[in-house]
Amino acid sequence: SISNVVALGTTEAAATEDRMKRSALHVAAQNVHATGKLIQVLCELYPAATTTRTQRGHLPLHLAAQSMAKEPVVKALIRADPKAAEARNKSSNTPLHDACKYRASVGVVKLLLDVYPDAVYIQNQYGNLPLHCATAYQAPAEVVQLLLKAWPDGASMQNRNQDAPLHYAAAYSSSIVAVQQLLNAAPAAVMLLNSSGQRPLDRAEANHASNDIIGLLEDAAKEWTKKAATDGWGTFSTEDGGF
């Protein structure tokens, strides 16, 4: 119990690390049953744990973001060390990247965005924004919308494989909502080609996306091609190399 931690906990015990270089705070941050009060107590016992990295470069805030931690846990970690939201692990992921990748709640994502808004612009070692992570790993549509509100132009950014967030949403999303949100933010992304010469529609078809998603992408591609031709930009096709 927390009372036992308060009564029996020592700085030495809180500073002890396991073979993965995790302290008690790291382990608690990963525990879905942890509370904000427990995190607060552990931070007070050994404040340096908030800036201590595991073998993979994770701070406790990264681990909480990866573990669907409750909002009070994330709040307590941010309160103890707001700069932790800016830290990158060995994959160059910020806690926001991890929260999006591991389907954290929209409340947790908002907390991380509020403390470090610039995280929305950061690309990890694969060139992925938090928005790429959200769409690749089926984050809630509310999370996608929150990221788009923070930076609408993120919808047209391509990673090292030249995939835009729409490529991932087209391939992996089980909901048409996120796909529509991305199209609303960056209509031209429907014609972007990745390094394999695939448009979002191609990825949707290759991954057997729902008929609704495929239909939406087909309509969007036709509409954009028509608009381009009408405005004198020529037409786009995979053979032409896109744009």
Q: pLDDT tens per residue, the chain (243 residues)?
A: 455 455 456 788 888 888 899 999 999 999 999 999 999 999 999 999 999 999 999 999 999 999 999 999 999 999 999 999 999 999 999 999 999 999 999 999 999 999 999 999 999 999 999 999 999 999 999 999 999 999 999 999 999 999 999 999 999 988 899 999 999 999 999 999 999 999 999 999 999 999 999 999 999 999 998 887 887 654 444 444 332
pLDDT reported for residue 237: 44
Contact 110, 78 (CB under 8 A): no
How far apart, in whole angstroms, are the C-alpha atoms of residue 228 and residue 243?
Answer: 11
Which of the following CATH numbers is that of domain 139-235: 3.50.50.60, 1.25.40.20, 3.10.450.50, 3.40.50.720? 1.25.40.20
Query: What is the domain partition of the chain in residue ranges?
Result: 139-235
Tokens of 64: 């909480």
Residue among 223, 150, 143, 210 nearest 183 (CA): 223
Residue among 104, 53, 140 nearest 112 (CA): 104
Query: For residue 5, what is the enclosing H or E element?
Result: helix 2-8
Helices marked H in 81-127? 95-101, 106-115
CB atoms under 10 Å from CB of 73, counted, come to 28
Q: Tokens 């990745």 label which residue?
A: 194
